[in-house]
Structure 1
Amino acid sequence: MPWTTTRQRCRVFVAIIALNCCFWLAKAFGKTDDNPDILLLTPELVRRYGYPLDIHDIITEDGYTLQLHRIPYGRNKNKKAQSETRSPILLVHGLVGSSADWVLTGPEKSLAYILADAGYDVWLGNNRGNIYSRNHTSLSPTDRAFWDFSYHEFGIYDLPAMVDHVLHTTGHDKIFYGGHSEGTTQFWVMTSEKPEYNSKIALMIGLAPAAFMGNIRGPIRKLAKLTYLGVWVGETFGYPELRSRSTWGKFVLSLFCQNMVNAQFFCSNLLFLVAGINREELNTKDLTVILTHLPAGASWKQVVHYGQGYIDPGQFRQFNYGEDKNLRMYNSTIPPAYQLERITTPIALFSSDNDWLATTKDVELLSARLNNVVFHHNVPISIPFNHYDFLWGKSSWQQVFEPILRLLTQYQ
């Protein structure tokens, strides 16, 4: 068929119009952000700043291929020969995040680099479904079944596979663990459903810890009210992919969200409307890089599972499919609750009064249910940390990173 079909002519016409619009917008608002970090993947980001990085592909018990990124030592002192003796720490991202979350703000401001420079063997996890973990032994991302997972599967399959691989590779008996948001949720799932993993973690560090969701704030509550609809759609048609940022999307964001651009106010609100408003802690120089790496891919079933926690406040349960399927899967019309009292790992929590997703009331409920909280720092409202400031806030060094380094030394 010749290229001059009506459909192809329309595509060419639309592409030309779009390009002209972008050139006009670039002229009107200024140049696009030329920061190369916008387009670089985690391994490229890490190596760009002079750190070593190894890539490890592992396969979960149910067939998903996960990619781990390892920074075995820091850049200031080459201690490669001593890497066997360096304590390993596994860091796992939150919902729609990736390993990049731990390095986006660059050396001396990102936790992964700070830990590597402090002498730790840093491992960055990637859950199934994000841009680094989109392979399976028999399924394709185009298959409906590929996206049929929530944070339950992260705790049952993904995190145990990561922990076991780090232990096997390093030869250590225990590792440190750090999770942000959903990275904490899957830890609660793992250590309650598979309590034998408690003995494999020397200390768990939970940033913006998420389990109970009954007190979330902000516009996200509107989405949470559609949870029942989300279950019906997923069970009827398949749970869709929550797609990662496309190359086109990154271009548009680099156009509008760069520093000193008039529309940057709008871009910052993309984060604030979900995580909590905090202009004081946001470094606008990092905004474009952050937004072009987030979202990094997920399943809508993860969002639906969190929504179930909002409409069933005070409960932290396995996925609710409805009475009929619950009865087939769980032998009960109500999903089983996660038995948090089974968790014996020492736990350090970092929370904030200004976090709209991991709210103070919900974190207090979680803390009361955990038996081994050895440290809990709640950032007061006078320092209005939002959900992401634990990773990228201007005060994250004083409020989060410095206490973490002290805790790790204590639990060596």
Structure 2
Amino acid sequence: MAVPFIGRLRLFEWPALLLSLVLVVLEYLLSIITALLPSFVIAFFHRLTTAIFTLVPTSGVNKLLADPGLDEVVTEVREAHGFVEICRIFGYDAEEHIVKTQDGYLLGVHRIGGPKHSAWRTRPPATPRPVVYLHHGLLMNSEIWVANVDPTKVLPFVLADLGYDVWLGNNRGNKYSKKHVSLRPTSVQFWDFSIDNFALYDIPDTINYILELVNQPDLVYIGFSQGSAQAFATLSINPGLNKRVKLFIALAPAMAPPGLRNNIVDSLMRASPSLIYLLFGRKAILQSAAFWQSIMYPPLFVKTIDISLKSLFNWRCKNITYPQKLAAYPHLYSFTSVKSVVHWFQIIRSGRFHMFDDELQSPFTETKYFYRVASFPTQNITTPIMLVYGKTDSLVDIDVMLSELPEGTVAFGVPEHEHLDMIWGDDIDTLVFPHVFRALSKFSDAPLSLMLENNNAGNMSMSTLNTVDGSDGEPVDTSTPKAVTGVLGRSRVEGMTYQSSITSQEQLTKKISRSFSSSHSGFNFGRSDPVVEVTKTNLD
């Protein structure tokens, strides 16, 4: 007679099972022992690791020691307890809202209360502001968007200063959404959700709440990582929602990742979902991460995260400065369900962006003749889509992604950039933001002249504004600017950023205002043209 559960494991899963069990048990025992240690012992080890890092400082530590002002900002952001507190560090007001989903989850939603320096404050209250909604990635929350040492590189702050009504969402189960009208977070039922639930309830219910509250017909959706996957999913199964999302911008988009770079972990990930449930249970995953973060010396925590990212994804995070890591990494993790991670493992195993497979032990799961879980019909999306991705991001297969998206989808690759670089990279204001602003210029109702007026206080760098319009600029050859014919005859424009020759704000206002009032021929949203060309000639 087969042993329950264990007897169902395949032969090749046993090595991964044994190794994983050893690691999980060791981590569990170590966390218990550490939690039981007297506070003075923990303080001793904290001082010891501090002394070690002080004796052998990294270049990042030296930079902090040489710049007390930067050190203060890093400390404030790192130690901030929540989204609202981070916003206040940089002088921004933030609101907290609660969205009740149709299945009873209570989601925390944040709103940037208004621009820090803006002419919008003097405009009549009835004047509507264009709405932008941003959504985080896997094991994250809304804090990842604002956890930065430089406010000019925080996309929500920049958008708010440009006059947009900025909202940020949170998934069920994370730091701001760990509540239900009838289920307790200690129950297995509370954590019984996957990407399907995000697509069916969290995203559409949040969008509807926002638009009804501000009395607007539509908004722009900006998703990072899984935040983009959730948009792909919900737009593909909610035809009416496509009318309420007028533009979808995906940063470091995720759909069907090729897998992880660590062979052992990749083998575990491709194993039976039952194995994952055995190791991590059926509630929240990696709950001990918050405990270790709370007791580790911050530079040691940064080093631990860097090693983990390199081991799992081969990310080196060279475009993220050490001060930025020190400030942002503590805000990187938030709770999610084991089931949602299992869902991603199923997608990677199958190579398809599909709904959760409930038949975990079905003998027909991997056969195409008798059983095939439904894929999200992403070709049905009618909302215009723009993808911005790092060309060295191991989680993005742009050719596969384009083959699954509607014709007319535009993609921009940023050379030598990885996943987290899209939100925390030191050069996102010049390599990522311009793509966002050019797309917004086509779909936003806010004239750029007002945006520049809003920016008179100088919160947004001129270098960022100078890259919004390429009408008089030369393409910067960060690789070889070209239109590359993609799968199914589509194309993507890679390696393109623009450096404007405009030097004065007055000249910039005149030039870019024309750009914002006309359509860029380089963005063929909603068109069926097989090739998208972006050159200096057709941007003039």
> TM-score under structure 2 normalisation?
0.66
Is residue 131 from structure 1 mapped to residue 175 from structure 2 by the alignment?
A: yes
1:310, 1:182 → 2: CA distance? 14
Taking the aligned partners of 1:95 and 1:57, their CA distance within structure 2 comes to 21
Q: Where does residue 4 of structure 1 map in the other structure?
A: none
Residue 345 of structure 1 is aligned with which of 354, 360, 383? 383
Deviation at 1:123, TM superposition (A): 0.3
Deviates more, 1:108-117 or 1:299-308: 299-308
Letter in 1 for 2:259: I
Gap change, CA 1:336 and 1:289, over 3 Å in 2: same
Judge conservation of contact 2:221–2:248 (CA < 8 Å) in 1: yes
Aligned to 1:392: 424
Query: 35, 58, 64: which is aligned to 2:105?
Result: 64
The match for 2:77 is 37
Residue 256 (structure 1) shift: 2.3
Q: Deviations over 1:165-188 (max 9, x none)?
A: 111111110100000110011111
Q: Does 1:366 align with 2:389?
A: no
**Which of 89, 95, 102 is the aligned partner of 1:54?**
95
Distance change >3 Å, CA 278–CA 21, structure 1 → 2: closer
Deviation for aligned residue 1:149: 1.1
1:375 matched to which residue of 2?
410
Cross-structure match for 2:486: none
Q: Is the 8 A contact 1:323 1:333 kept in 2?
A: no
**Does the Cα contact within 8 Å between 1:224 and 1:310 map onto a contact in 2?**
no
**2:43 matched residue in structure 1:** 19
Q: 1:79 aligns with which of 120, 136, 145?
A: 120
Task: Give the letter aligned to residue 396 of structure 1.
Answer: I
Matches within 5 A, 1:79-118: 79-80=120-121, 82=123, 84-105=127-148, 106-118=150-162
Superposition pairs of residues 198-213 of structure 1, within 5 angstroms: 198-213=242-257
1:282 to 313, 320, 324: 320
The answer to whether the Cα contact below 8 Å between 2:379 and 2:406 also exists between their aligned partners in 1 is yes
SS in 1 for 2:116: coil
Summarize the Cα distance change of 1:304–1:347 in structure 2 as closer, same or farther, 3 Å threshold. Answer: same
Q: Pick the aligned partner of 2:340 from 292, 299, 302.
A: 302
Partner Cα separation in structure 2 for residue 307 and residue 316 of structure 1 = 11
Gaps of 5+ in 1: 1-9, 258-263
Contact 2:310 2:316 in 1 (8 A): yes
Aligned residue for 1:269?
307
Output the CA distance in 2 between the equivalents of 1:38 and 1:67: 21
Seen in structure 2, the aligned counterparts of structure 1 residues 227 and 148 have a Cα distance that, compared at 3 Å, is farther
Name the CA shift for 1:24/1:37 in 2 (closer, same or farther; >3 Å): same
Q: C-alpha distance in 2, partners of 1:334/1:286?
A: 44
Pair 225,27 (structure 1): closer, same or farther in 2 beyond 3 Å: closer
Query: Is the Cα contact below 8 Å between 1:218 and 1:274 reproduced in 2?
Result: yes
Q: Name the Cα RMSD after superposition.
A: 2.8
1:224 and 1:176 mapped to 2: Cα distance?
38
* Higher relative contact order (Cα pairs below 8 Å, separated by 6+ residues): 1
Letter in 1 for 2:435: P
SS of residue in 2 equivalent to 1:137? coil
Distance 1:43 1:354, change over 3 A: same
Matched-pair contact (CA < 8 Å) for 1:244–1:294: no
Identity of aligned residues (%): 28
Q: Give yes or no for contact 2:284–2:336 (8 Å, CA) kept in 1.
A: no
* SS of equivalent to 1:73: coil
Tell me the secondary structure at the aligned position of residue 371 of structure 1: coil
Separation in 2, partners of 1:146, 1:216: 28
The verdict on how the C-alpha distance between 1:220 and 1:301 changes in structure 2, with shifts beyond 3 A counting, is farther
CA drift at 1:239: 4.1
2:202 paired residue number = 158
Over residues 325-355 of structure 1, what are the superposed CA-to-partner deviations in whole Å (9 max), with x where a residue is unaligned?
Answer: 799xxxx732111111211100001122210
| 1:409 corresponds to which of 441, 444, 463 | 441
Aligned mate of 1:319, from 353, 356, 361: 356
Given the superposition, is the C-alpha separation of residues 274 and 78 from structure 1 closer, same or farther in structure 2, using an over 3 Å criterion?
A: farther
1:102–1:133 distance in 2 versus 1, CA, 3 Å: same
Report what 1:7 is aligned to: none
Farther off after superposition, 34-43 or 145-154: 34-43
Q: 1:199-231, CA deviations, whole angstroms, 9 ceiling, x for partnerless residues? A: 111100001111122x23412772464354434
Q: Could you say if the C-alpha distance between residues 364 and 112 of structure 1 is closer, same or farther in structure 2, counting changes exceeding 3 Å?
A: same
- Change in Cα spacing, 1:12 to 1:350, as seen in structure 2 (3 Å) is closer
Provide the secondary structure at the position in 2 that maps to 1:159. helix
Alignment match, 1:28: 52
User: Radius of gyration: which is bigger?
Assistant: 2
Give the conservation status (yes or no) of the 8 Å contact 2:354–2:376.
yes
Q: What amino acid does structure 2 have at the position aligned with 1:58?
A: V
User: What are the Cα deviations for residues 357-380 of structure 1, in whole angstroms up to 9, with x where unaligned?
Assistant: 12xxx3222212221544210123
1:21 Cα shift?
1.7
Alignment of 1:245-264 (within 5 A): 245-246=289-290, 249-257=293-301
1:150–1:305 contact (8 Å) kept in structure 2:
yes
Mapped to 2, the partners of 1:346 and 1:119 lie a distance apart of 22
